[in-house]
Amino acid sequence: MATSFELIDEGVMRSVAVTIEDGRVFIPAAELARATGWTLKPEGLCRDAACVPVRDRAALVAAGGVDLACFAAALGRPLALDVAEGTAALGTAAADRSAALASLEAPDFSLPDLAGRLHTLSEHRGKKALLIAYASW
């Protein structure tokens, strides 16, 4: 039975039609391509010029489409999946996170000051900046 699911990838949430069987989420190949940009080809999962070979195609693809957990594993990306809530989030691959850390460049973000004016980190590129973070736990 097809149902609607919210898929978060690269910070963008998209509604996709999925099939759920025994706790596994299957997304039709066309929906996968629309939501993530990855297409299933004979050589594997492809996006733009990059292709990732798929070792166990039978586990990845079933009648209902592409198994979302196997898709994430094939790309080396973590997956947070809540079937009951109809939501899934694809994380960033470890290699991509490692490359970002190796660059020693903080990702850009924006925060308001006490007067409500928005400031971005990129405004201070090339200057020394002190960032203080606090967590209550």
Kindly give the pairing relationship between strand 87-90 and strand 2-9: parallel
Predicted pLDDT of residue 131: 79
The pTM score is 0.73
Residue 81 within any structural domain of the chain: yes
More confident residue, 1 or 121: 121
Residue 27 within a domain: yes
Task: Note whether 18 and 25 are within 8 A (CB).
Answer: yes
Task: Say what the pLDDT of residue 1 is.
Answer: 60
Residue 112 belongs to a domain: no
Question: Rounded to whole angstroms, how far apart are CA atoms 128 and 53?
Answer: 43
Domain that holds residue 39: 2-96
Strands 44-47 and 39-41: antiparallel
**pLDDT tens-place string over residues 50-73:** 899 998 888 899 887 999 999 999
Asked whether the predicted pLDDT for residue 37 surpasses 80, the reply is yes
Residue 36, domain member (yes or no): yes
Is 58 among the domain residues? yes
pLDDT digits (tens, 9 = 90+) for 39-51: 989 889 999 988 9
Residue 108 has pLDDT above 90, yes or no: no
Residue type, 34: R
CB atoms under 10 Å from CB of 90, counted, come to: 20
Q: Which stretch of DSSP H or E encloses residue 125?
A: none
- The answer to the question of residue 16 being in a domain is yes
- Flag whether 65 is in a domain: yes
Residues with Cβ within 8 Å of 95's Cβ and at least 6 positions away in sequence, in order, are 76
Number of domains in the chain: 1
Residue 20 lies in a domain: yes
